[in-house]
């Protein structure tokens, strides 16, 4: 084990201490800002992922065998029957996991539906025509069973394709705030 060398004859001035302190404080603030931005970016990516897969999530809810609306006896019967058919405890856990996943998917889809309806209300209530267009773009790209391409939307909306992309980005940012609440606010990112 080596001993640390003792440095003698070196003193920090008050100015040096202040400079080092300010540097450390600035570094800490930058780290915090980066963390907030990373959380927002993750929420924004999650919103895009949810919208992109919205139709699949709806299909899952419509076609899942396990339904949260059924009474407990019916759901217990399904889990029990599938558990009986499984050969191990791990198979039973997988079946229960499928049921929990189905429940979570229904909750998420229900929340997304409510926030999309709220977004539609905001857009329809806005005096700015581009807000209504942004909702239509999101609707036709992600929500309607028969989607349209960005080129088709640009033609129908009598606008440039780049405007459609900007509309998507602005709408997704707004939907991120609605879906994730305070964690979805980009204004916190500096």
Q: CB under 8 Å to 190, separation ≥6 — which residues? A: 33
pTM of the model: 0.66
The per-residue pLDDT for 2 is: 56
- Domain hosting residue 89, numbered range: 43-188
Q: Give how many domains the chain has, as a whole number.
A: 1
The per-residue pLDDT for 31 is: 86
**Does residue 17 fall inside a structural domain?**
no
**Does residue 37 fall inside a structural domain?**
no
**Does residue 72 fall inside a structural domain?**
yes
The per-residue pLDDT for 92 is: 59
The per-residue pLDDT for range 107-131, each reduced to its tens digit, is 999 999 999 999 999 999 999 999 9
Whole-angstrom Cα distance, residue 32 to residue 9?
37
Q: CB under 8 Å to 177, separation ≥6 — which residues? A: 184, 185, 186
The per-residue pLDDT for 189 is: 43
User: What is the CB neighbour count within 10 angstroms for residue 141?
Assistant: 21
Spans in the chain with pLDDT lower than 50: 70-79, 81-85, 188-190
**Does residue 33 fall inside a structural domain?**
no
């Amino acid at each position: 084990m080596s001993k640390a060398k003792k440095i003698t004859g070196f003193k920090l001035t008050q100015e040096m201490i202040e400079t080092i302190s300010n540097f450390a404080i600035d570094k800490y603030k930058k780290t915090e800002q980066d963390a907030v931005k990373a959380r927002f970016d993750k929420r924004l990516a999650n919103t895009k992922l949810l919208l992109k897969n919205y139709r699949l999530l709806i299909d899952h809810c419509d076609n899942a065998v396990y339904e949260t609306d059924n009474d407990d006896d019916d759901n217990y019967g399904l889990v029990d029957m599938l558990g009986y058919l499984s050969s191990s405890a791990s198979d039973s856990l997988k079946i229960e996991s499928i049921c929990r996943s189905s429940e979570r998917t229904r909750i998420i889809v229900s929340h997304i539906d409510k926030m999309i309806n709220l977004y539609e209300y905001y857009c329809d209530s806005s005096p700015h025509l581009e807000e209504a267009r942004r909702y239509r773009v999101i609707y036709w790209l992600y929500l309607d069973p028969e989607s349209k391409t960005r080129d088709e939307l640009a033609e129908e909306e009598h606008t440039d394709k780049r405007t459609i992309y900007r509309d998507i980005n602005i709408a997704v940012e707004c939907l991120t705030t609605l879906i994730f609440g305070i964690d979805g606010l980009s204004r916190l990112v500096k």
